Structure 1
């Protein structure tokens, strides 16, 4: 089963603020405060992501050279190369990239390196806060795709706080185990119970 929320494109924020390499220390700081973010991508003149400048970078510059910090530009302050992710990357891949880079947000870029969005740790967690009705709708649709409409219609799907109960009359234990594992992989599913109406 494939989740409808399994790639970065499914959860990323498309409205993104960024700065150019020539943005000054003060301009970067004002951008961070205005948009209430802790880091922004830095773009080359053609719009490609070349780095990221964060509050940590600003503080390091101020602490290193307090008298000249205001003269620094984003191009000098930024961390480079930027850790980026593609929109079709799996959510787990984005999570691992954040953990490795010890960052909370990643610029999302297309195949040419152009900025198209940003994904945060909070975005990655959204898939676990899905409504039960949404989970049931997705599971039913995917059961139809896997089992076919007739057989899927014989499987009852109920959700309560992310806990899924599948009710069916199938007696094939291997099929039941496979279905449970597939449903368990859907983001937002907490647990899966299979109840049979006939002996397994």
Structure 2
């Protein structure tokens, strides 16, 4: 199997769970649990991709801020510059980006009128599933 010929859009998890910049931690945790995901995408009111909040972001924030974390919003907790990839990139390109940056997931986006709009997530597990078939 040549992963250089497979596009990210063919493998990614479609659709994303999003929260607004003003979402409080309780809402973020509810979205993570209800949707059984490890990260939520943070978007501006117009849907533009602003960042991501993952389990590890929450744990790191809790370690730094303790109990005050429940007063924070997604904008306070999120990683504002997560790694991302276009849907037409190859799985090989995505895998190299993950390895080089030590991450387990990439946000997949499309560009519309100069804005980045999240359309999916590609995880390392998604790539492993394809390679193991």
TM-score by length of 1: 0.59
Q: Specify whether residues 6 and 77 from structure 1 end up closer, same or farther in structure 2 by C-alpha distance, changes over 3 A only.
A: same
Q: Which of residues 129, 132, 154 in structure 1 aligns to 2:132? A: 129
Q: Distance in 1 between matches of 2:125 and 2:56?
A: 20
Q: Which runs of 5+ in 1 are unaligned?
A: 131-200
Q: Distance in 2 between matches of 1:105 and 1:3?
A: 17
Matched residue of 1:46: which SS? coil
Q: Specify whether residues 67 and 38 from structure 1 end up closer, same or farther in structure 2 by C-alpha distance, changes over 3 A only.
A: same
Matched residue of 1:108: which SS? strand
Across the aligned residues of Structure 1 and Structure 2, the Cα RMSD in angstroms comes to 2.0
Matched residue of 2:84: which SS? coil
Higher normalized strand content (fraction of residues):
2
Q: Which runs of 5+ in 2 are unaligned?
A: none
Q: Which residue of 1 aligns with 2:28?
A: 28
Q: Which residue of 2 aligns with 1:47?
A: 47
Matched residue of 2:85: which SS? coil
Shift of 1:4: 9.9
- In the TM superposition, structure 1's runs of 4+ consecutive aligned residues that sit over 3 Å from their partners are 2-5
Q: Distance in 1 between matches of 2:131 and 2:30?
A: 33
Contact 2:4 2:92 in 1 (8 A): no
The CA deviation string for residues 91-112 of structure 1, in whole angstroms up to 9 with x for no partner, is: 0111122223322221110123
Asked if 1:117 is matched to 2:109, the reply is no
Query: Structure with the greater relative contact order (CA < 8 A, sep ≥ 6): 1 or 2?
Result: 2
Matched residue of 1:68: which SS? helix
Q: Which residue of 2 aligns with 1:68?
A: 68
Contact 1:50 1:82 in 2 (8 A): no
Matched residue of 2:40: which SS? strand
